[in-house]
Amino acid sequence: MSSARSVLRPDRPLLVALVVATAVVTLWLFVPTMSGHIATMNVGSVDVTVSEYAVSDGGEHLSATLEVHNPTRRAVVFYSGLLHAADGRTQLSDGTTTGLGEATVPPGETVEITANIDLAPERVSRARRAVESGSVALSGKLRGEIGNEGVTVPVDTAGSDR
């Protein structure tokens, strides 16, 4: 009987309240953090395909429309990419980083992102022919964040139809 009474009316109620408050705060902090870590671990399931290529009128850029599918439970924000465009063994792009602004892909959604990849000046006509013939291959990675965790997502169209 005394043990039931001590549970209902503890000798140190302040200590019990402190333990309960600590548990609640720990859970409040742990759940979002763990959710972010799980999403980061699952970033490998983010899928990038290319739906369209075009060369800008001035020939400075190869514009690639990327369709990014995010099956994770958190939004992914992409801010840049290291993307290489090629036609066969000939690299068309100049190898610099491509800015994407802040392209957000919400959880469970697919979003189109336009990447304007800098072309090597001597490869502009080859890039136009490659776009017309459908022989452009894109490889590299997109850089971004899930929560505060940095992530990279691979891009490789070499083995696909596009």
Element containing residue 45 per DSSP (H, E): none
- CATH number of the domain located at residue range(s) 42-156 in this protein: 2.60.40.10
* Domain segments of the chain as ranges: 42-156
Q: Give the per-residue pLDDT at 30.
A: 60
Q: Beta strand 61-70 with 109-118: parallel, antiparallel or unpaired?
A: antiparallel
**What's the whole-number mean pLDDT along residues 9-31?**
71
- How far apart (Å, rounded) are the C-alpha atoms in residues 93 and 118? 6
Q: What is the pLDDT of residues 63-92, one digit of tens each?
A: 999 999 998 888 899 999 999 999 999 999
Q: Can you give the pLDDT at residue 44?
A: 61
Give whole-number Cα distances, 51 to 15, 31, 134, in Å.
61, 37, 11
